[in-house]
Structure 1
Amino acid sequence: MPRRRSTWGSNTDAGGGYRRLRYWADEHDGRGYVRHSKTIKGTRRQGDEELARLRVAHSQDRPVPTVRQAYETWWLPEARAKVAAGKLTERTLVNYQSRWTAHVEPALGSMPVTDVRPRVIRDWLQGMSAGVANHSLVMLRQVLDMCVLYECIDTNPARETIPSSVRAETLERDKTVYDLEAMTGALEAARGTAAYVPAVLCGIGSCRVGEALGVRCDEVEAVEANGMTVAVVPVTRQVDRDGRVSERLKTAGSERVVVIPEPWSLDVLEAARRDAPGGWLTPDGVGGPLSGLAFNVAWRKAVDGAGLTRIPLRNLRNSWRTIMRWELGMPEDMLEKLMGHAGGGVSAAYYDRPRAEYFADVVSKAWLARREAE
């Protein structure tokens, strides 16, 4: 349906010669300055004229919300609705709220949204670490997006270009990845530690960090493929940095199987045969799964202790993608499916829900071809 907007309201075709007008006003009915809708019979021009009259009558009573009011009035209710609808995990909401409480609200909460300018944002980000700056800026962007939606501001200043001096120091995340040689060396350094098996699942199997920690021993299966014993590992849940288990993955498409080739598959299968407390493939020793925090600590100690270059755990998955595409030559559409991405087009339709045996076949062939070429 065609829509015509102004900076104050909207005038849309409602069908049958009618126009639907939406605008902001305080009708003094106890609700305050809220969004209203009005349907009139007439042309677009007549709708514009009525909208202009309404603006004259009501635009001057428009209060400017603070960043805190925008968060509490619009962002938080919508986020909670997304959790209820299954579009956002409870844990993700908790993370967003933590960012708000720790970094956004203390500095910007009491500021009118019209006063949040790019320079204010730049000064606010100065001195933050890369991770904190990125997460805090994402939170602020989402809150101010709601202010644009409800026409409190015309554009979102948090989406404008941040000066390079700030971006270089605070906003760039470490994008370093391993090639196969470096990956092999780092995994060997982690062998025998709590970080080894989950690092294999990430760096050799494409798991996200939380996914690698959520596997149970009885779910791992040995499959013979082209003369190679691979470990087929289902990804159905994830564990957060504090060790909390969630049966909901990042996206619906994230539920999949990953395939670990030899020699790492033999270690994963051996770990699955152990009588670990709680039945977790990566146990914490007291009946639960290893937490993301403990995984990170073990990874840091192992790799740093060996004098090797250490990359962030999240980059192991990126390294897997790089290795599989550029060193093993696997096709993009297959890699997308192995990573739990939805994909699109004919290829995605062809690879839709392939059997575990099919994944085992193509992955084992890719690794065998690599070894034959060495």
Structure 2
Amino acid sequence: MPSKRRFGRVRKLPSGRWQARYLGPDGIDRPAPETFSNKTDATIWLADREAELRTGEWIDPEAGRTTLGDFAARWVKERPGLTPKTKQLYEGLVRLHIRPGLGDLPLADLTPARVRTWRATLLDGGLGPVTVAKAYRLLRTIMQTAVDDRVIRSNPCQIKGASVERSPERPVLTVPEVYSIADAMPDRFRLMILLATFCSLRFGELGALTRGAVDVDKGLLHVRRSLVELGDGSLIFKEPKTTAGRRVVGIPGAMLADVIAHLDEFTGDRPDAFVFVGPKGATLRRSNFQKYWRNALQAAGIEGVHFHDLRHTGNTLVAQSGATLPDLMARMGHASTRAALIYIHTNSTRDRLIADRLSELIPASDRARNGHDKPTSEEEGSRDDRSEPA
């Protein structure tokens, strides 16, 4: 006979093992997932469930039987504030990298060990570490939502540093290399190369640039939106993610003549006319632009360079010019200091210049002793005069 208790019930089964049951807050009679070898263990299990109900930590054990694949698909669909591009990225990560290895598992069955195995399998299979980091970070966020929704008790994504994208260092072009690429492009796209480099513009920002956003009198570009090409071929315009992305960028004076010439030859007169369009006047698409980019690289004898490396090169040049951290953030269009600090920290050329300027402040005699700049007779005389007693 079941033992009468204030909370739940325990009974001895014909097998000799003990079963524990309790009435959940949803009115469903719920047995323990396993039987116990003795009555004490069954009673302890019931006490734990009673404590969870009393503290509000009780979790419906059936909720965790939802598969990760179904939960992830619903998560992406219901996630507020996603841009079309980001939603497309998340759907691709779920479809290509999360569902194949983990999608059929119930949420409650995902353990840290299984997540580690899944991640190791992706890396061993040759998937790039940056993509693996993106997939892991998305999985961790999805599972945290499951924790917040009280579907599971804890997040199984516990690998330290696994969500950090450690991209390989991208190449920095020389100024002559930039102009070699620009000169190898069709005339209508030459200015794109220069603006991407010397004004730190992204491809999408260049595609959305209009005549009205170019102030040639003041030498300024007004970056207001970006053109995005989705996987299905559709084009959309999107606002910057942060207010910092909506910015005004100064055009180097040496480039103004190029800007004016391009506007006169390739851009319509209306303020909303795109600065850069295809040969037949179509809106700029990255997929169509790539053939011109590849041909220009080949003609310039340059390999392994992406279009975004032009912006990376430009940011490096800005840092070398002596820009402060706020200057870099404003020009790059970043609200966070993280990206700008990359250029500050890795700019050894600028640091060498700073060191040389500090060296100039060191007394001439000490510079000479260290093998730099022998003191002039005037400096020696001044030192001798200072050393004589009054």
- State the match for 2:300 in structure 1: 306
Q: CA deviation at 1:108?
A: 2.5
Distance 1:199 1:313 in 2: 8
Q: CA deviation at 1:209?
A: 2.1
Please, which of 280, 290, 293 is the counterpart of residue 287 of structure 2? 293
- State the match for 2:77 in structure 1: 76
- State the match for 2:328 in structure 1: 335
- State the match for 1:96 in structure 2: 90
Q: Which residue type is aligned with residue 66 of structure 1?
A: T
Distance 1:198 1:243 in 2: 22
Q: CA deviation at 1:312?
A: 2.2
- State the match for 1:67 in structure 2: 68
Within the alignment, does 1:213 sit opposite 2:207 as a pair? yes
Residues 185, 292 of structure 2: 8 Å contact kept: no
Post-superposition Cα deviations, 1:294-336, rounded to whole Å, max 9, x if no partner, equal 334422321133212442222322222211112x112221221
Residues 224, 239 of structure 2: 8 Å contact kept: yes
Distance 1:209 1:89 in 2: 17
Seen in structure 2, the aligned counterparts of structure 1 residues 289 and 250 have a Cα distance that, compared at 3 Å, is farther
Residues 211, 237 of structure 1: 8 Å contact kept: yes
Q: CA deviation at 1:68?
A: 1.6
Seen in structure 2, the aligned counterparts of structure 1 residues 135 and 335 have a Cα distance that, compared at 3 Å, is same
- State the match for 2:264 in structure 1: 273
Residues 276, 285 of structure 1: 8 Å contact kept: no
Please, which of 219, 233, 248 is the counterpart of residue 221 of structure 2? 233
Q: Which residue type is aligned with residue 224 of structure 2?
A: T
Aligned pairs (5 A) from 1:9-28? 27-28=26-27
Distance 2:167 2:91 in 1: 22
Residues 209, 274 of structure 2: 8 Å contact kept: yes
Distance 1:49 1:110 in 2: 28
Distance 2:131 2:96 in 1: 10
Q: Aligned to 1:61, what secondary structure does the other structure show?
A: coil
Distance 1:182 1:51 in 2: 71
Distance 2:168 2:290 in 1: 15
Distance 1:145 1:53 in 2: 21
Q: CA deviation at 1:54?
A: 4.1
Residues 222, 269 of structure 1: 8 Å contact kept: yes
Residues 217, 281 of structure 1: 8 Å contact kept: yes
Residues 205, 226 of structure 2: 8 Å contact kept: yes
Distance 2:187 2:74 in 1: 47
Q: CA deviation at 1:57?
A: 10
Give TM-score, length-normalised by structure 2.
0.61
Residues 140, 155 of structure 2: 8 Å contact kept: no
Distance 1:104 1:194 in 2: 42
Q: CA deviation at 1:184?
A: 3.1
Seen in structure 2, the aligned counterparts of structure 1 residues 172 and 53 have a Cα distance that, compared at 3 Å, is closer
Distance 1:337 1:250 in 2: 14
Aligned pairs (5 A) from 1:241-280? 241=229, 242=233, 244-276=235-267, 279-280=273-274
Q: Which residue type is aligned with residue 341 of structure 1?
A: H
Q: Aligned to 1:233, what secondary structure does the other structure show?
A: strand
- State the match for 1:52 in structure 2: 52
Which stretches in structure 2 are left out of the alignment for 5+ residues?
1-23, 29-47, 338-390
Residues 76, 87 of structure 2: 8 Å contact kept: no
Distance 1:182 1:111 in 2: 55
Identify the range of structure 1 (150-159 vs 278-287) with the bigger mean alpha-carbon deviation: 150-159
Residues 218, 272 of structure 1: 8 Å contact kept: no
* Overall identity of the aligned pairs, in %: 19
Residues 217, 272 of structure 1: 8 Å contact kept: yes
Give TM-score, length-normalised by structure 1.
0.63
Distance 1:219 1:59 in 2: 55
Q: Aligned to 1:246, what secondary structure does the other structure show?
A: strand
Q: Aligned to 1:128, what secondary structure does the other structure show?
A: coil
Distance 2:75 2:189 in 1: 41
- State the match for 2:144 in structure 1: 145
Seen in structure 2, the aligned counterparts of structure 1 residues 50 and 109 have a Cα distance that, compared at 3 Å, is closer
Count of residues paired in the alignment: 282
Q: CA deviation at 1:55?
A: 7.4
Residues 173, 310 of structure 2: 8 Å contact kept: no
Aligned pairs (5 A) from 1:186-201? 186-192=180-186, 195-201=189-195
Residues 208, 226 of structure 2: 8 Å contact kept: yes
Distance 1:196 1:256 in 2: 23
